[in-house]
Amino acid sequence: MIRAAGATRGAIFADSGNLDAFSRLRTSFPYTVFDSKQLIDKQPLYWDDQQTAGAGTVSTYLANFAATRLDVTGNVAGTRVRQTFRRFNYQPGKSQLILLTGILTAEGGAGVTGVTSRIGYFDDNNGVFFQRAGSVLGVGVRTFTSGAPVNTIVAQTAWNLDRLDGTGPSKLTLDPTKTQIFIVDFQWLGVGRVRFGFDIGGVIIYCHQVFNANVLVVPFMTSPDLPLRYELSSTGTGAAVTASLLHICSSVQSEGCQEDTGYALGTDRGATILTSGNDSNIYALLAIEYKAAAANKFATIAKLQYSVMSSTANATFRMGLLLNPTIATPPALAFVSVPNSALEAAVPAAGNLITAGTGTLLSVLYDSQNRTGVIIPEIPTDLRMGATIAGVSDILVLFVQPVPVQGATSFFGSINWLEQV
């Protein structure tokens, strides 16, 4: 809708789904930061799927639905969570748009006492989400600014844009037992606006918005770099029935574009040589992971590059990057903080062999001593370093394997990356 605003101001678009979180006219150029479709399986490389508390929960892949169903039992206390390993970089000044599909109350009933389902962009400490607690539908903002997670839940009856109960501007009534396209967009900058809504009939209908600028005295949440999450929990106080949540599809988008901001960092073996035996074992050459502090896991690690060099004449070898392989110990990997980084790095010893067939192979190449020091360019991938629901970091390992079997061979290596925080 356009309304006249005087000759000096020109046309003004009314606040609606036509505008992004920063009141800029939406066009057809969103930048996809991440998307997930479960066409083949649960996408275990993207999603951690755990019973995080209690008992009696289960997660089931439904091939014909291209979806995963989370189940709890109403009279058994337990929590089931599906959360992306990766957290998604927010660039200040951009509208972050989150789209998720599923069913908050997939058991098809009116909600189960003591059972809460949540779908959104959040973790244990911060975020935004839709929820159904028993039969009460609402939206929530979670903040850790006090040093402990605090949820502010607004029930459907108090939504300030459209209660979606048939009496609002859209005249639509929301059915939480049916599939929905859930939408959140937000400004962060510490104090921006958050909007919650649904795409129904091809139209975005915002149901509630939260203003923070000129209202709060602290940021509304500690970090905007958060994972996607589907969560179902039971307090054990309900009936002995199964309650379910359906997880279908999701996307994180930066509206407008997203630049490669951040800073370039790297780590290497220095002057420490790794010398292989007279074999074709797979040797861990260099390893990186997130530092233990949870706050450091907000960094996005992108544009990975690596290099391997052998100082042994006529050496030929295989090299590449593995995510979370099994590494033999002793000796234990000694991780040391990378200065000005969210990461720490370890320089493995010759005894830190990698078990063949373990981990996820992100990149592999063959090379020889005749091309010493070549830098392998970035391979574009959505599979980035992340952490489990419990905060356990991924480990990325640069490996080398002499091929064919040859005598003792000396290797050096480095890893470089773009770090976005």
**Do residues 203 and 106 touch, judged by C-beta distance below 8 A?**
no
Paired residues of 189 in beta bridges: none
Res. 3: pLDDT tops 80: no
Cis status of the peptide bond prior to 331, with omega within 30 of 0:
yes
Q: How far apart are CA 191 and CA 81, in angstroms?
A: 28
Structure tokens at 261: 């901001």
| Closest alpha carbon to 231 in 107, 391, 72, 97 | 72
pLDDT digits (tens, 9 = 90+) for 177-213: 999 999 999 999 999 999 999 999 999 999 999 999 9
pTM of the predicted structure, to 2 decimals: 0.91
Query: Dmax of the chain from CA atoms?
Result: 83
Q: How far apart are the C-alpha atoms of 221 and 391, rounded to whole Å? A: 19
By the 8 A CB rule, do 144 and 222 touch? Answer: yes
Q: DSSP H helical segments within 34-88, as ranges? A: none
Q: Which residues contact 270 (CB under 8 A, 6 or more apart)?
A: 347
- Are 12 and 5 in contact by the 8 Å Cβ rule? The answer is yes
When pLDDT is averaged across residues 303-327 and rounded to a whole number, the result is 93
Residue 72 pLDDT greater than 50, yes or no: yes
Tell me 135's DSSP state.
T
Q: Does the structure show a pLDDT above 50 at 397?
A: yes
Tell which wins on pLDDT, 406 or 182. 182
- Domain locations along the chain: 2-255, 263-420
CA distance 317 to 405: 9
Question: Does the structure show a pLDDT above 70 at 52?
Answer: yes
Strands 263-268 and 410-420, sheet pairing: antiparallel
pLDDT bucket at 260, cuts 50 / 70 / 90: confident
> Looking at the domain 2-255, which fold is it?
Jelly Rolls (2.60.120)
For residue 19 the two structure tokens come to 């505008």
Place of tokens 């450091």: 296
Please give the pLDDT value at position 46. Answer: 97
Report yes or no: 247 and 230 within 8 Å, Cβ to Cβ. yes
Other Cβ atoms closer than 10 A to 113: 15
- CA dist 200 and 254 (Å) reads 22
User: For 18, left (φ over 0), alpha (ψ -120 to 50), or beta?
Assistant: alpha
Q: What is the pLDDT of residue 378?
A: 67
Q: What are phi and psi of 295, to 5 degrees?
A: -60, -30
User: What pLDDT is recorded for position 368?
Assistant: 85
Q: What is the DSSP letter of 354?
A: B
Fold equal for 2-255 and 263-420: yes
CATH code assigned to 263-420: 2.60.120
245 pLDDT higher than 70:
yes
Instruction: Using the predicted structure, report yes or no on whether residue 1 has a pLDDT greater than 50.
Output: no
Measure the CA angle with vertex 228, ends 234 and 67; round to 5°. Answer: 70
Give the separation between CA 380 and CA 302, rounded to whole angstroms. 9
Task: Tell me the C-alpha distance between 275 and 136, whole Å.
Answer: 63
Question: CB neighbours of 406 closer than 8 A, spacing ≥ 6?
Answer: 278, 315, 316
Report yes or no: 33 and 252 within 8 Å, Cβ to Cβ.
yes
Cα(262)–Cα(169) distance, integer angstroms: 43
**Residue 2: pLDDT above 50?**
no
**What is the average pLDDT value for the chain, to the nearest integer?**
91
Q: Residue 34 corresponds to which tokens in the numbers above?
A: 């991440």
| Cα–Cα distance for residue pair 135/113, rounded to 1 Å | 8
User: Regarding beta strands 136-143 and 263-268, do their DSSP bridges make them parallel or antiparallel, or are they unpaired?
Assistant: unpaired
pLDDT band for position 393 (50/70/90)? very high
Q: Are residues 186 and 21 in contact, defined by beta-carbon separation less than 8 angstroms?
A: yes
Closest CA relative to residue 35, chosen from 91, 82, 84: 84
pLDDT at 25: 81
Burial 262-298 (b: 16+ CB within 10 A, else e): beebebbbeeeebebeeeeebbbbbbbbbbeeeebbb
Separation of alpha carbons 120 and 137, rounded Å:
14
Q: Minimal CA–CA distance to 356: which of 407, 278, 283, 287?
A: 283
Q: CA 133, CA 317: separation in Å to the nearest integer?
A: 57
Peptide bond into 149 cis (omega under 30): no
